[in-house]
């Protein structure tokens, strides 16, 4: 979809806490923006219910720590 629209994009497969990997990757490639799914879409990637409670979810941590704009799409 992005390619058809002429929007630049990159894919990445990485290991670690999802929010940290997303923020680090965005910094490394000097991303203009991070586009994510809605809250709850990544719940299966969290390690446990305790982790979810402590982190507030992936998207919230990305919103707090990312240095570029974050777009959450439903």
pLDDT of amino acid 60: 86
pLDDT of amino acid 71: 93
pTM: 0.69
Query: Would 7 be classed as within a structural domain?
Result: no
Give the 3-state secondary structure of residue 70: strand
Domain that holds residue 62: 17-72
* Structural domains counted in the chain: 1
Which residues of the chain register pLDDT less than 50?
A: none
Query: Would 50 be classed as within a structural domain?
Result: yes
Question: pLDDT of 16-37, one tens digit each?
Answer: 998 999 999 999 999 999 998 8
pLDDT of amino acid 37: 81
pLDDT of amino acid 41: 56
Query: Would 1 be classed as within a structural domain?
Result: no
Query: Would 4 be classed as within a structural domain?
Result: no
pLDDT of amino acid 74: 79
Q: Record the tokens describing residue 23, joined without a space.
A: 């923020």
Burial environment of residue 22 by CB neighbours within 10 A (0 to 12, 13 to 18, 19 or more): buried
């Amino acid at each position: 979809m992005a390619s058809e629209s002429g929007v630049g994009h990159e894919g990445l497969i990485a290991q670690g806490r999802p929010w940290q990997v997303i923020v680090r990757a965005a910094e490394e490639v000097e991303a203009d923006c991070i586009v994510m799914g809605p809250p709850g879409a990544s719940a299966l990637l969290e390690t446990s219910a305790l982790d979810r409670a402590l982190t507030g979810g992936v998207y919230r941590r990305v919103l707090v720590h990312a240095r570029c704009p974050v777009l959450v799409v439903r």
